Chain A
């Protein structure tokens, strides 16, 4: 079943990763996350004021299959910065708390005083690309 070489969907995912400087693959949308880990990652990106594109993996299970095959990372969410996988919710949270995330994003924010923000009431992301795949 699995095609080791390439597929149109995988090519589309690769293109999306290359074209969007900050891209989050998540369950649900930034406005309506469908998983606590995705919600937390969205909340962190919003709290540092980082515009980001988002792809909802839920509409088609093949998106997740192809993404994981491409990134060699089994779980969702997955955050890409400048084409590189940065990590999932755990790593993004750790990096946020240490200030490394802000550094990787080229933001001036110093390391935060407190722990990572909990998901807040839905708030539209500054920029979101949804279901573009």
Chain B
């Protein structure tokens, strides 16, 4: 094994370091992770673009060392309700 097992704490720190102003809550078992990420940087971006910012923190590790990463993103300081 080249790399040690990923931990929720590692993912949280890397997301918060990689996306300016982000706060993250990460749960996971070492292979499957679930991250809730809030960041002002998400404002005005599509969900696709928001999730890409998070995936980009980990690059090719997603699908490999990090087997699965579920993401829920929130733009911090959103005043407007999205229209359903």
- Give the total of B residues in contact with A, Cβ under 8 Å: 15
Within 8 A of A (CB), among B26-76: 47-48, 51-52, 55, 60, 62-63, 68-72
A73-B55, A74-B55, A75-B69 as given contacts; A86 in contact with B48, CB under 8 Å: yes
Do residues B48 and A75 form an inter-chain contact, with CB atoms below 8 A?
Answer: no
How far apart are the CA atoms of A89 and B82 in the complex, in Å?
A: 20
Do residues A90 and B52 form an inter-chain contact, with CB atoms below 8 A?
Answer: no
B70 to chain A, nearest CB (A): 5
Q: Does A98 contact B (CB under 8 A)?
A: yes
Query: Interface majority SS on B: helix, strand, loop or mixed?
Result: mixed
Q: Does A100 contact B (CB under 8 A)?
A: yes
A86-B48, A91-B48, A94-B72 as given contacts; A99 in contact with B63, CB under 8 Å: no
Q: List residues of chain B with CB within 8 A of the CB of A100.
A: 84
Do residues A74 and B62 form an inter-chain contact, with CB atoms below 8 A?
Answer: yes
Partner of B63, one of A75, A87, A94, A111: A75
